[in-house]
Amino acid sequence: QVQLVESGGGLVQAGGSLRLSCVVSKNIFKSNAMAWYRQGLGNQRELVASITSRGSTNYADSVKGRFTISRDFTKNTVYLQMNSLKPEDTAVYFCNTIRGTTPWGQGTQVTVSS
C-alpha cells in the first residue's frame, strides 16, 4: 500500500515557482507532523520544511521567505509552495513524517535552470 505520493515537480527557470503536493494515507496524516525533504545529486537528504497538526511551521534557513508549507485535512495532502526558485533548489523532493518513519515515496524532481 502506497502511503506517500508526491507530485508537482518539473523544470522551471530561476525566479519561477512550483507547487508540490503530497497525498498521505489518512491514518498517517491525521496524527503526525509532516515535512518536506530534498536530496540533490550527490547530497544527503535534508529537511526543507515541516508543519505540525496545529499548523506550526519551520523552515531550513536556505528556503525561509521563499517556500511555504501547508496541509489540508480534507484532502490528506501536504503542499510546498516554492517561489523565487534558485538553481541550488534542484533536487528530488520527498514528503514524510517529521521523523521520517514512513516508507519513502518516489519523490518528485525539481529542476531549476539558470
* pLDDT tens-digit series, residues 48-99: 999 999 999 999 999 999 999 999 999 999 999 999 999 999 999 999 999 9
Burial of residue 20 (CB within 10 Å: 0-12, 13-18, 19+) is: buried
* pLDDT tens-digit series, residues 4-36: 999 999 999 999 999 999 999 999 998 899 999
Q: How far is CA 50 from CA 11, 12, 15, 28, 67, in A?
A: 24, 23, 23, 15, 11
